Amino acid sequence: MKAIDFLKKMNKYEKLEKIGEGTYGMVFKAKNRENQSIVALKKVRLDDEEEGIPSSALREICLLKELKHINIVRLLDILHSDKKLILVFEYCDQDLKKYFDSCDGMIDPNIVRSFLRQLLCGLSYCHSHHVLHRDLKPQNLLINKNGELKLADFGLARAFGIPVRCYSSEVVTLWYRPPDVLFGAKIYSTSIDMWSSGCIFAEMANAGKPLFPGSDVEDELRRIFKLLGTPTESEWPEMINLPDYKHFPNYQPIANLSYVIPNLSPKGIYLLKKFLVCNPLKRISAEQALKHGYFNE
């Protein structure tokens, strides 16, 4: 797009206040002057301002426009010039992290169930279209006042990669990363999002207390193994061949996860364990999880 066309298209949106700062840049609330609708503008800051937007990234982004599902934040428009990229998204009221802050103490078990179901519906849709999220966390789950939950930033990790530091120079969180990725696995599959879903499920049930708030890769893995037990070779034969594999003591699993997540029903605990399986090949899929008895309670 030529600079003048870019400005013309930008002019369609009246920028309102800043709503967030994240991995890839700043997010603003804005109004579409043509139909008065409210949208979210995400200015993607490119690592290398000189190089412009890689064409591979643009191709990926264009594909994301085709993802249409009520539990996925719609990508409405893509504005780009040589140097700048602005993504126009459907606007949502708040993110799950802010929601946690607003409800101190406890989240109604029915709301936890509803949020998890919607998270899995969105995931199942994207996974069936061969799109991974790779960076699921409460800040990337947006919610509306009517109780709808939508996944934000789908597919951006593939287009841009996940940097070590955010735009705001905050360190990108490790808390939702599965052990295979922490051990340096380079082949990503849908199982990466399923681990993150388990961590988010436990966090919702604990009213916003993260399950594995590790401070670095080693601490993150230690926390995981102390709760779930260090995987044995028969449980996960491929583990020792991963690029960054490190030996850990042989921790035994906590006998009963309900001690750690007291507000989750036995069926909920049972489902949670299927997300939190260290071997990625044995982790439950979104589609399978939706059929679990926990959702019939």
Q: Which is nearer to ligand ADP, 19 or 227 (CB)?
A: 19
Site size toward ligand ADP, by CB under 6 A: 21
- CB under 6 A: which stretch of 87-95, 178-186, 229-237, 268-276 binds ligand ADP? 87-95
Q: Which is nearer to ligand ADP, 3 or 103 (CB)?
A: 103
- In which region does residue 130 sit, left (phi positive, over 0), alpha (psi from -120 to 50) or beta (all else)? left
Using the rule CB under 6 A, which residue among 28, 89, 160, 236 binds ligand ADP?
89
Q: Give the one entry of Mg ion, ligand ADP, none that residue 20 binds, where binding means its C-beta sits below a cut-off of 5 to 8 angstroms depending on kind.
A: ligand ADP
User: Which strands sit side by side in the sheet containing 13-21, from one edge to the other?
Assistant: 13-21, 25-32, 38-44, 85-90, 75-80
Q: Does residue 71 touch ligand ADP according to CB under 6 A?
A: no
Amino acid identity for residue 235 in this structure: E
Q: Which is nearer to ligand ADP, 123 or 272 (CB)?
A: 123
Phi, psi dihedrals of residue 150, rounded to the nearest 5°: -135, 140
Tokens of 235: 């449980």
Q: Does residue 163 touch ligand ADP according to CB under 6 A?
A: no
Phi, psi dihedrals of residue 141, rounded to the nearest 5°: -110, 115
In the annotation, is 180 catalytic? no
Phi, psi dihedrals of residue 4, rounded to the nearest 5°: -70, -40
Q: Give the one entry of Mg ion, ligand ADP, none that residue 142 binds, where binding means its C-beta sits below a cut-off of 5 to 8 angstroms depending on kind.
A: ligand ADP
Rounded to 10°, the helix 109-128/266-275 angle is 30
User: Of these residues, 135, 153, 180, 193, which one is catalytic?
Assistant: 135
- In which region does residue 105 sit, left (phi positive, over 0), alpha (psi from -120 to 50) or beta (all else)? left
Q: Does residue 72 touch ligand ADP according to CB under 6 A?
A: no
Active site positions, annotated: 135
